[in-house]
Structure 1
Amino acid sequence: MTRKALLPLLVALLTLAGAAGCGLFDDDPAAKAARRPAAEASPAERPPYDVTPLLHPARKYFGVAVDGAPSSMKPVDDFARAVGKRPDMVGSYSSWGDGFNAEGAKNVFGAGGILYVSWEPFKPALGEIADGSQDAYIKRFAESVRKTDVPVAISLGHEMNGNWYPWGTEKTPAATFVQAWRHVHEVFQEVGATNVIWVWSPNVVNPVPAVKLRPYWPGDAYVDWVGVVGYWSSTGAHTFDTLYGPTRRQVAAFTHKPVLISETAAEPGERRRADVRGLLQGVEQDENVIGFLWFNIPKRADWRIQSSPLALAEFKRLIADDAFGFEVPRS
């Protein structure tokens, strides 16, 4: 074909390319971004980490809260050496007003786990969170979570059915708790921080039997897991069912979300070895419980499992089971 004959064909091709909005010589940044492969997209352009595969894990989560983590993973490494298995969830506490610990979340994810944040609204009152007065802070926190782009579990106002926290029964009506929870969740959705697993975490009802849980429930659309906080004390319930059963039976009346024992430990003493056995065997055998998070911090009692050699040996024996240890996908 002669050069003269090729000219009309070239003009036609250029016209078609221009009509499609992606000309051969198009330097428009938006057009370039649209053509860019997903793997090369900037963090702001990529969809956030998809937590869906984490909600119903194939194996049980094994979590721990230790002093110094997750800003440093050395305490987690030390704990892992002591018990013979690396946790795949690391607990942390954040007061309202604190920034999101993005570096800590990346540290945990880099080690194959999920950061669990107990977000504690000591002040202002939940009514000020519900009415939008705190939206600037909530958006900054949510945007940091979104930008970090790793899975994060967040429990807002844990143990709300107790009277020992300002967001609890003594100072905060159940309806206000629900309004605040829903509002925070909605702000996160608006920001696009969908890489969050939302964990609603009441205390076991045993010490507060008159407080019903249903009025505190935000609704299935606002919660991914039910977290149950319950410690094995030397004088309290001493079986898996007597400690957690009454709470779970109440919850089962209004939701069937997966259950995580979101904060627990066994008090030192003669029963500690048996309590460790009751906890780990109970979690392993209950198909509706997806794991537990051990509080390994000395606070009013020495909850560290290493402080009791016999209990440590029992913990180490049982946690070695293949039922524990969920591999967090890289996305």
Structure 2
Amino acid sequence: MLLTRARTTVAGCALALSALLTLSGCSLLDDSGTSASSEGGGSAGSGEGAQGTDADIPYDVTPLLKPDKKYFGAAVDGAPNSMKGVDTYTAMTGKQPNLIEYYAAWGDGFDAQGVRNAWAEGALTLVSWEPFDVTLADIAAGEKDAYLKKYAASVRKLNLPVVISFADEMNGHWERWGTKNVTPKQYVAAWKHIHDTFTDAGASNVIWAWSPNIVNPVKSVELEPYYPGDGYVDWVGVIGYFTLEEDNAYQSVFGPTLDEIRTFTKKPTLILETAAEPGERRRADVRNLFAGVEADDDMLGFVWFDHKKRADWRLKVSPLALKEFKRLAAGGSFGFDVRKP
């Protein structure tokens, strides 16, 4: 949402000689997208490091698409390139997140080491890929294929499951790729070209999350024209926050958007980014979030945006809300080891 959204774009990466180092939060990759000292990615469905010919088998993401338990996700500073913030979040909430979201600008290298770090702790990585300095028309036309193909090859080479959300909140006017600058046709064309490029690279280890903002602030914008189609989407990743200007019932925040989405796709949904504005109501907002997600069989879980950006969304600033969050997170419905779904 315009008043609540924030970006924590991952810093760019650079190569120094032929060695692979870590700089400004991103792992530096060789031409294949893999650190020179690393092992291969996971073998299909095993969750173990691929060795030898196992690396030729794409990781089977099917068990992760709609698991029995809910995803318990978080976006925290530095993660997953550094998992210190995740460890702190785990100690604070009493449960380890199994879905770690980070933000990357178009042009950034794929953070293969970060994905490994998260996987080693039983968590899936979600990349929010933001095309700040490129037009979607150029992407769709293949003008950026050199970068795109290298990125896709890096993801395939790692061969661990990764969630990619490209150009989220496309139905908002506040994004450079939003309604003021991009038509639905251009958006869909860019999405399909990116997806097809990954398919051509054999990178079927990607879970594709199409992620509109909740429709509440942009009721006049229809979502269906922006939808690439079920063949190009695995999850619908809804983005929405509990703000003091709006009613805090789960159905009020997310219901209108989910109802509209259900008119054109039955794909599983995930609250890809959410939090509650600080204040006396925050404890109730947390309660409504957990109850709403748990009651919705099609809702896969949520990712809590634990950053101070435009508002302080961090749980630690609201002790009573944090206590409620910790109590509800302890339930058996949320969290599982993604290596053993």
Q: Runs in 1 of length 4+ with deviation above 6 angstroms?
A: none
Please state whether the residue corresponding to 2:312 is helix, strand or coil: coil
Residues 109-188 of structure 1 mapped to structure 2, 5 A cutoff: 109-188=119-198
* 1:300 aligns with one of 310, 318, 325: 310
Larger proportion of helix: 1
1:222 and 2:205 aligned: no
AA matched with 2:109: G
Q: TM-score by structure 1 length?
A: 0.87
Which residue of structure 1 aligns with residue 87 of structure 2? 77
Which residue of structure 1 aligns with residue 52 of structure 2? 41
Q: 1:57·1:326 contact (CA, 8 Å) conserved in 2?
A: no
Q: For 1:255-295, what per-residue CA distance to the aligned partner results, in whole angstroms no more than 9, with x for missing partners?
A: 00000000000000011000000001111111110100000
Which residue of structure 1 aligns with residue 219 of structure 2? 209
Between the aligned partners of 1:326 and 1:146, the Cα distance in structure 2 is 24
* RMSD (CA atoms): 1.3
1:272 and 2:282 aligned: yes
- The total of aligned residue pairs comes to 293
Between the aligned partners of 1:254 and 1:212, the Cα distance in structure 2 is 11
Q: In percent, how many aligned pairs have the same letter?
A: 55
Between the aligned partners of 1:91 and 1:306, the Cα distance in structure 2 is 19
Deviation at 1:42, TM superposition (A): 4.1
Which residue of structure 2 aligns with residue 102 of structure 1? 112
**Whose Rg is larger?**
1
Between the aligned partners of 2:292 and 2:221, the Cα distance in structure 1 is 25
AA matched with 2:86: V
Q: For 1:27-78, what per-residue CA distance to the aligned partner results, in whole angstroms no more than 9, with x for missing partners?
A: xxxxxxxxxxx9752465x212110100011100000000111110010000
Q: Give ranges in structure 2 of 5+ residues lacking alignment.
A: 1-48
Q: TM-score by structure 2 length?
A: 0.84
Q: 1:43·1:147 contact (CA, 8 Å) conserved in 2?
A: no
Please state whether the residue corresponding to 1:155 is helix, strand or coil: strand
1:233 and 2:243 aligned: yes
Which residue of structure 1 aligns with residue 8 of structure 2? none
Deviation at 1:327, TM superposition (A): 2.1
Q: 2:119·2:339 contact (CA, 8 Å) conserved in 1?
A: no
Q: For 1:161-205, what per-residue CA distance to the aligned partner results, in whole angstroms no more than 9, with x for missing partners?
A: 001111100000010000000000000000011100000000000
Which residue of structure 2 aligns with residue 15 of structure 1? none
